[in-house]
């Protein structure tokens, strides 16, 4: 699986957009970018995923660069409850064969939303 | 009601004791996983199961065993607990065709 690099921490003011970057320069053509978050000591929560195109759901937007070597997770209006560790994960497509089940969680980015 | 439940939520035990952590799910998912998380680190995969008859080791399976009693139940055992197994343990589930995993609330295990 491609390795990801994220800043260890970021701050954001409440109500502002939070932009969390992720570098995945070794990503393969068929690998997806997934984002999860973990609010203090709770189980991780799926946020969004994408392959090439930008994606948006009720939680966030995902912007993937044209060369796919980096991406940005955007929380459009951050709240105090968005304070969490955010994980960027690169993974092969579902059931592409073999043991392609795995999500490898790194250390992520601790986002602190300040009042 | 929670879709993925774990019991117990907290456990303190002594070195050498046998411990079982249980996970149940009502999502109807085929796949189940056990992860551990140490302070300041990401999650590491211990074991995973694609169905009742398909159980596989993850990256840190030494010292652990699992049992998939039914589609909905996946248990993690520490045969002889040691202090460096003190950690937060998460169970997760997923559908066969998905990378979206649903996590339980976690079990905080302390081995003295």
Tens-place pLDDT, residues B9-37: 999 999 999 999 999 999 999 999 999 99
Percent of chain A with pLDDT over 90: 74
Q: What is the pLDDT of residue A104?
A: 82
pLDDT band at A105 (very low <50, low <70, confident <90, very high): confident
Token pair for residue B97? 């065709």
Q: What is the pLDDT of residue A53?
A: 87
**Among B38, B96, B99, which would you mutate to test the A interface (most chain A Cβ atoms within 10 Å of its Cβ)?**
B99
- Does pLDDT of A21 surpass 60? yes
pLDDT one-digit tens code per residue, B32-52: 999 999 987 788 999 999 989
Q: What is the pLDDT of residue B98?
A: 77
Token pair for residue A47? 């946020």
Integer distance in angstroms from the first to the last C-alpha of chain A? Answer: 37
CB pair distance less than 8 Å for B90 and A46: no
CA B53, B43, B99: angle at the middle one, nearest 5? Answer: 55
Q: What is the pLDDT of residue B77?
A: 97
pLDDT one-digit tens code per residue, B64-76: 999 999 999 999 9
- Does pLDDT of A96 surpass 70? no
Do residues A47 and A37 lie in contact, with contact meaning Cβ atoms separated by under 8 Å? yes
Residue range A27-42: mean pLDDT, rounded: 90
- Does pLDDT of B1 surpass 90? no
Integer distance in angstroms from the first to the last C-alpha of chain B? Answer: 33
pLDDT one-digit tens code per residue, A71-84: 999 999 999 999 99
Does residue A107 sit at the B interface (CB-CB below 8 Å)? yes
Select from A46, A95, A99 the Cβ nearest to the Cβ of B100. A46
CB pair distance less than 8 Å for A107 and B103: no
Strands (E), chain A: 9-13, 18-23, 32-38, 45-50, 55-56, 61-64, 70-75, 84-91, 109-114
Token pair for residue A33? 């970018």
Residue B5 neighbours by CB distance under 10 Å: 15
Q: What is the pLDDT of residue A2?
A: 61
Could you give the CA distance from residue B111 to residue B28 in angstroms, rounded to a whole number?
Answer: 33
Q: Nearest Cα to A35, choosing from A15, A63, A10?
A: A63
CB pair distance less than 8 Å for B97 and A102: no
Q: What is the pLDDT of residue A91?
A: 83
Does residue A41 sit at the B interface (CB-CB below 8 Å)? yes
């Amino acid at each position: 699986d491609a390795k990801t690099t994220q800043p260890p921490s970021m701050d954001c003011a409440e109500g502002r957009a939070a932009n969390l970057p992720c570098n995945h320069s070794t990503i393969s053509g068929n690998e997806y970018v997934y984002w999860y978050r973990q609010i203090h000591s709770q189980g991780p929560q799926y946020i969004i995923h994408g392959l090439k195109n930008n994606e948006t759901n009720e939680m966030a937007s995902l912007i993937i660069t044209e060369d796919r070597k980096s991406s940005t997770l955007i929380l459009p209006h951050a709240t105090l409850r968005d304070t969490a560790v955010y994980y960027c994960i690169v993974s092969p497509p579902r059931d592409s064969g073999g043991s392609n089940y795995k999500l490898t969680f790194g250390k992520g980015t601790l986002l602190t939303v300040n009042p | 009601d929670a879709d993925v439940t774990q019991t117990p939520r907290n456990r303190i035990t002594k070195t050498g004791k046998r411990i079982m952590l249980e996970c149940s799910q009502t999502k109807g998912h085929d796949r189940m996983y056990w992860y551990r998380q140490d302070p300041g680190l990401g999650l590491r995969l211990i074991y995973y199961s694609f169905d009742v008859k398909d159980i596989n080791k993850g990256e840190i399976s030494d010292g652990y065993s699992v049992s998939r009693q039914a589609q909905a139940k996946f248990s993690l055992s520490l045969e002889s607990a040691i202090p460096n197994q003190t950690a937060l343990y998460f169970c997760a589930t997923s559908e066969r065709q998905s990378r979206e995993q649903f996590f339980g609330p976690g079990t905080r295990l302390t081995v003295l």
